[in-house]
């Protein structure tokens, strides 16, 4: 077995699908030597209170994140485009809550 020294264990992001929810939601991170161990540890750390029925783990290094410094140009332009929200349509009463 190719053993990684404890101090070099990579970081993993943990995603849990709850009983009610449809999609996996990010719930935290942990250190583990490999994917199988990360999965097991995620079970022990993040599902102790029946939080989930399915777990994903992803190496944190494999996540490409947007740069917080670019927040302005990325997200501010959508602030004044309220017409993108579907709130200007008349919905028949029979449809109920959407």
Name the site residues for other proteins (rule: CB under 8 A).
Answer: 1, 3, 6, 30-33, 36-37, 40-41, 44-45, 48
Minimum distance between the CB of residue 25 and other proteins, rounded to whole angstroms? 20
CB nearer other proteins, residue 37 or residue 60: 37
Quote the CA–CA distance of 71 and 79 in Å, as a whole number. 12
Tokens of 98: 């959407």
Between 11 and 91, name the residue whose CB sits nearer to other proteins: 11
Question: Given the complex with other proteins, which of 5 and 23 has the nearer CB atom?
Answer: 5
Residue among 1 and 98 whose Cβ is closer to other proteins? 1
Residue 47 DSSP SS3:
coil
Do 8 and 58 contact (CB within 8 A), yes or no?
Answer: no
Give the shortest CB-36-to-other proteins separation in angstroms: 7
Rounded distance between C-alpha atoms, residue 45 and residue 90, angstroms: 47
Q: Among all chains, which residue has been given the structure tokens 């959508």?
A: 78
CB 4 to other proteins: min, Å: 10
Residue 84 · residue 40 · CB < 8 Å: no
């Amino acid at each position: 077995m190719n053993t990684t020294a404890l101090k070099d264990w990579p970081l993993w992001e943990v995603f849990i699908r709850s009983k009610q929810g449809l999609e996996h939601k990010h719930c935290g991170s942990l250190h583990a030597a490999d994917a199988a161990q990360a999965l097991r540890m995620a079970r022990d750390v993040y599902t102790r209170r029946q939080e989930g029925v399915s777990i994903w783990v992803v190496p944190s290094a494999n996540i490409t994140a947007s740069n917080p410094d670019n927040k302005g140009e990325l997200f501010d332009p959508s602030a004044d485009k309220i017409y993108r929200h579907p709130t200007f349509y008349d919905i028949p009463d029979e449809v109920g809550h959407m």
